[in-house]
Amino acid sequence: MSEGQPVVSEGASVQAAAVRGVKLYQLPMFSDHRGSLAVGEFGAFLPFVPQRYFITYQVPGAHVRGEHAHRECAQLLTCVRGGCTVLVDDGVRRETFRLEDPRWGLLVPPMVWAAEYDHTEDSVLVVFASHPYDGEDYVRDYAAFQRMAAEA
């Protein structure tokens, strides 16, 4: 890449997944001799303005994170280093996504079960949440989640 010729991606795009409400966002990317920049504007292109974020890292590859759904909270997951696999499940359909490029963000809406696994040694997963932490918002029992999802 020459110093005078920046590379710009085609822009943002959104792909619906098979699991209800789950979407894969391809974020705009800009790259030149100084490096690359991926952009996501909350409230404009992305679906919510975050009230909280958290980062998982140094997760041993065999361990699973998540394994729950939220009643009200939506989350947008992006792996900014390394990679991990995300399983999403709406009680009827399941799908997996491999996140290993910071240009991609996965929207997990309320009442979708999510689990993150198969982390690379250097993985850094950033999760933006639509709501502040509330322990009562979590559904941690899969059988209970399935009953709730069937009623929705």
Catalytic residues: 68
- Per-residue CA distances from 19 to 55, 65, 69, 100 (Å): 24, 19, 13, 20
CA dist 82 and 101 (Å) reads 8
Q: Which secondary-structure segment (H or E) carries 143?
A: helix 142-151
- Spatial contact of 73 and 129, defined as CB atoms under 8 Å apart: yes
* DSSP structural state of residue 61: T
Q: Which two tokens stand for residue 108?
A: 């997990």
- Spatial contact of 109 and 73, defined as CB atoms under 8 Å apart: no
